[in-house]
Structures are given as structure tokens and as C-alpha cells.
Amino acid sequence: MPAASTSHLVLIPSYNPGPKVYDTVRAARAQWNPVWVVVDGSTDGSAERLQAMAADDPGLNVIVLPENCGKGSAVLAGASEAARAGFTHVLTMDSDGQHPADLIPAFMAASQAAPQTMVLGKPVFDADAPRLRVNGRKVSNGWANLETLWMGIGDSLYGFRVYPIAPLCRVMTGQKWMRRFDFDPEAVVRLCWAGVKPVNLDAPVRYFRADEGGVSHFNYLRDNTLLTWMHTRLFLGFLLRLPVLLWRRMTS
């Protein structure tokens, strides 16, 4: 097992993830120490099994939230606790096995080399990736790049990324949004507004079928409605910040 980091940890928000979560946690632990899992009000028994795994592994910490509040809320809870423990950065990854645990060291090294940045995964899709999901994200990416004057967001929705904790917590606690599916795109836009530059690294993503143990909580109508409302808010915020963003681009 790798030596424990005192600055960077892996943070895995988890809600009724199915059996893939245990493989995900084991794979993350094989690459990094420590790993924290935030169980976001799961009702599938995964909290108890993850706590049993943590009892035998000092590099694994499990935080259990009493009710489901959304991915962003789970990340904020974990990041806030990590800050109190003295950590400065979190690498977030999904609990369902879609993200490449073997790339954790490379992403952490990129963050350690430029700790003021956020390191964003840029997804590389395999042939089995749902076309609706692949093509649909292009809309969100286009809006995110417009809202930041093309600061360099390679992908706004891919949740495999390293955040500096302090600015992330500041932008989240400063408003009530980005608590659910809107977390990933809104986080990168608001962090760009706060002056946190993105660094993009390619990373494969795999969508598992149900017969492979895959679990998806994505709801096309609900979540796209949420993203539409989010980009409406962000575009209005962009217009208010446009003079500052233009000045920053001209002087950088």
C-alpha cells in the first residue's frame, strides 16, 4: 500500500452504488492513502459493509450522512472534514467503477506540481459509451467554456478531478446551489471565476451495463432540467462578471 499523504486524499461520494463500490474502494486504496468515502444516505446496506472494510484498514475512512442530499453535498461534507484534518486537496471519483483508479497517482502528481490549479479529467470514451450521454455533454461543455471565456475547461461533467479544498469550500458555502447533479459543472465554472486555473488530463471512462453490476441514478429529464437552470444562473453571473473576466484575459 502507498505511504499516507498529509495533503491529498481520494474522496468518493456514494449513494446506493451497487457492488461496484467495493471494487472501486479497493482499487483506490491500492493506488492512494488515504481514501475517504462519504455515504450519502444510502439505503442498500453499503454503509455497513464499507464501515467493516474501514475497521480493518487505517487508510480508509467512511463518513455516513443520515439522508441523501446529493453529490455536491457529499463532496462538501467530505472536503470540509478533510480541511479540518489538515488536508489541502481532494481527488473526487465516482463509486460505480467508471473512473480509472490507476490514474490517481498521475492526477495527484499534477496537483502537487501546481497546487493552485484544479486538475480535471478529460474523458476518453470507449465504443460502448451511450451516445446520448456522450453527445449531450457537449452542450454543457460549450456553455461552461462560454461562461468562463474559454479558460480551458476540457470537460465540465467528468467527476474524476482534483480540487484545492479551500477555494472549493468558499464557492460552495457562498451560495446554496451545486449540491446535486449540478455540482461538477458548476464547481469548475465558479472556481474559474475565482481564479483557479484548470489543468486537463485525459482519462478513460467506462459505463457498465446492469448485468455487469452498473448502477446509474441519471434521469434524463430531471437532470437536464437541473443543468438548464444551472447554466441560466451561471450565464447571468457571467454577464455580471464579464468586465472582470475580460480584464483578466487581457492581462494574463
- What is the rounded CA–CA span in Å between residue 46 and residue 33? 21
pLDDT in tens, 127-157: 666 666 667 678 889 999 999 999 999 999 9
* Burial class of residue 83, CB neighbours in 10 A (0-12, 13-18, 19+): middle
- What is the rounded CA–CA span in Å between residue 133 and residue 138? 9
Residues 6+ apart with CB under 8 A from 246: 149
Model pTM? 0.90
The sign of the CA dihedral 28, 101, 217, 87 is positive
pLDDT in tens, 154-195: 999 999 999 999 999 999 998 888 998 889 999 999 999 999
Q: Taking CA 101 as the corner, what is the angle to CA 206 and CA 152, rounded to the nearest 5 degrees? A: 75
Residue showing cell 439522508: 67
- What is the rounded CA–CA span in Å between residue 252 and residue 250? 6
pLDDT in tens, 92-123: 999 988 899 999 999 999 999 999 999 999 99
In this prediction, residue 213 has a pLDDT band, given cuts at 50, 70 and 90, of: low
Q: Does residue 217 have a pLDDT over 60?
A: no
Which domains, from first to last, does the chain contain? 8-251 (3.90.550.10)
In this prediction, residue 17 has a pLDDT band, given cuts at 50, 70 and 90, of: confident
Quickly list H helices, 117-219.
Answer: 131-147, 165-173, 183-193
List the beta bridge partners of residue 162.
Answer: 91, 119
**How high is the mean pLDDT of the chain?**
91
- What is the rounded CA–CA span in Å between residue 29 and residue 251? 42
